[in-house]
Amino acid sequence: MARRQFYACAVLCLAASCSRNHASLGQLSRAAQPHLLAFSRFETWVGRVLAVADPMASHEAHAETTFSPVRHDAKVLYAKVVSVEGAHQRELHFPQEVELEPIAKKNWQHIAGTNSGTLQAAMATRCPLKAPPWWRDGAGEGPCVLLSNESSLGDQRRLLITVAYQIKDSP
């Protein structure tokens, strides 16, 4: 519950912040706001999955379980979970056939810090996805907002979650 309230406050803080890029911050805030609760719930889900995950389970089984909350959400274009424990890194993508092209660091805006990490957002007029032609027939062609949080889960454990959400064009 506190995490949801935090993310709601984060958007208000972002919208109210003063900057040379005030218009872009406001635009980013409006685009991110409808997805913050869903992102927070997904982040909580991933934490629970990782806490009980069987290290012997297959990559596909981990991906199926991890992405079950977003699998049928039409607004989710892409999701990525990177879990790092010591020297071991596990990277999961949804859908597996799609990759997110790198986004320049300057395009990410810090929304807020948490006890466990940093929530950032970015916007793209054309979602930067590398996808096969058959995938979601035109998905990612329009604008999207990306939310990302990197957090520490303990001594040597880190978690990075990134989700790309489709935004409808303004009429």
Give the tens place of pLDDT for each residue, 39-90.
989 998 998 888 787 767 788 888 899 999 999 898 999 999 998 887 788 8
pLDDT digits (tens, 9 = 90+) for 116-155: 567 899 988 888 888 777 665 656 677 889 999 988 777 6
Domain of residue 116, residue span:
2-166
Tell if the pTM clears 0.85, that is, is over it: no
Q: Would 62 be classed as within a structural domain?
A: yes
In this structure, are strands 117-124 and 109-113 parallel, antiparallel, or unpaired? antiparallel
Q: Would 74 be classed as within a structural domain?
A: yes
Q: Would 171 be classed as within a structural domain?
A: no
Asked if 92 and 57 touch (Cβ cutoff 8 Å), the reply is: no
Q: How many domains does the chain have?
A: 1
Cβ within 8 Å of residue 118, ≥6 positions away: 110, 112, 149, 150, 151
Q: Would 120 be classed as within a structural domain?
A: yes
What Cα–Cα distance (Å) separates residue 59 from each residue in 9, 19, 90, 131? 36, 43, 9, 20
Cβ within 8 Å of residue 18, ≥6 positions away: none
